[in-house]
Structure 1
């Protein structure tokens, strides 16, 4: 891994436009265990028949998330690139994005008509955001198992991501989480930015998130 260079979260093209001449990119970030890979798989299932789609995953030392997606058969294996960051996950999506850009470039060379590249971050904390030089839009995923206090803790991931997903709502009764409070706090922290609460057990193809993704293209 090359040494980190500070590019900043808003480095790169206009955050409201797509990278010129390239496939749009959507980043999916969030804490460990929040359901990022499951959401990535759900979006591949929901959108794979409509879009020319590819995925980049990030893990520190393994290719575990990419291997999971390949085993699940959500995309042809050649459409999934794995980045081993070798350092904190946020470094590879925010500070030194070279490895991820290289992975995207390989996919774009392999599939020149791509409609969308999903870039999944490794698990990180509530401060993790993507460089705008890497993605056009970013989804931040938290889960109910972390407790209903998570949204009001804030952090750039919660407050600034283009979409906040509250995942695993089916677990709320088992962990004592108040979904009404959790969603209300999320809206209060985010202003007009959208919030989607979902259960991939109940809706395996994440239809609301898939609809949001299509609206960004």
Structure 2
């Protein structure tokens, strides 16, 4: 494990896939389970996601454990090519909070090619939305094939966009082999506990 022994979990995925909503569901569960959590939101030119998360967690996390990194360029840059800004933010967290257990790193909205530099993330979730079409797993972008956990979010929208969840499940299995896929609906909390279980087993208990 890197970064002063704090576990790091990256969340990538296209714009609108529900990464921020997923972080908003994961933090309370990890907090309730007794973990000390930090959150970093990457965006190109804004602190909007970080501000939203900070207000969401006002009753749970110190405000300085939620920060935004403005990459100023393609979101890939801050999570893959040059993760130094994110690594510096993690080090700031651990200097102030040496007992920190895990940092969630939300990438800026990107396409199907976003992946995390292994120096930055111990574990990588790739989040796609059912609303983007049930052919996304079949397209096999690096995010879909290389993520430690593929999260197919917004399952509640499937009937409205003619998406077949069984097809997505089959295609994800074919694209990912034995790597896990989880179906979630952040509005109803469906599947969120399963995502937390994966994080605990693969990162926090590892």
TM tier, shorter chain?
Answer: over 0.9
1:52 equivalent to 2:36? Answer yes
Change (3 A) 1:48 1:100: same
> Could you tell me how far 1:19 is from its partner in structure 2?
1.3
1:35 equivalent to 2:21? Answer no
* Contact 2:39–2:66 (CA under 8 A) maintained in structure 1: yes
TM-score by length of 1: 0.89
Q: For residue 168 of structure 2, what is the aligned residue in structure 1?
A: 182
Number of residue pairs matched? 200
* Contact 1:127–1:157 (CA under 8 A) maintained in structure 2: yes
Residue number among 75, 78, 93 corresponding to 2:79 in the alignment: 93
Question: Partners in 2 of 1:204 and 1:95 — Cα distance?
Answer: 34
> Could you tell me how far 1:205 is from its partner in structure 2?
8.1
TM-score by length of 2: 0.94
1:63 equivalent to 2:47? Answer yes
What SS does the aligned partner of 2:46 have? coil
1:121-147 deviation line (CA, Å, top 9, x unaligned): 000011110000111110000010001
Change (3 A) 1:45 1:205: farther
What SS does the aligned partner of 2:168 have? helix
The 4+ residue runs of structure 1 with deviation greater than 3 A are none
Structure number with higher helix proportion: 2
Task: Note the residue ranges of structure 1 that are not aligned, 5 or more in a row.
Answer: 1-17
What SS does the aligned partner of 2:196 have? helix
Question: Partners in 2 of 1:184 and 1:77 — Cα distance?
Answer: 41
Task: Note the residue ranges of structure 2 that are not aligned, 5 or more in a row.
Answer: none
Q: For residue 83 of structure 1, what is the aligned residue in structure 2?
A: 69
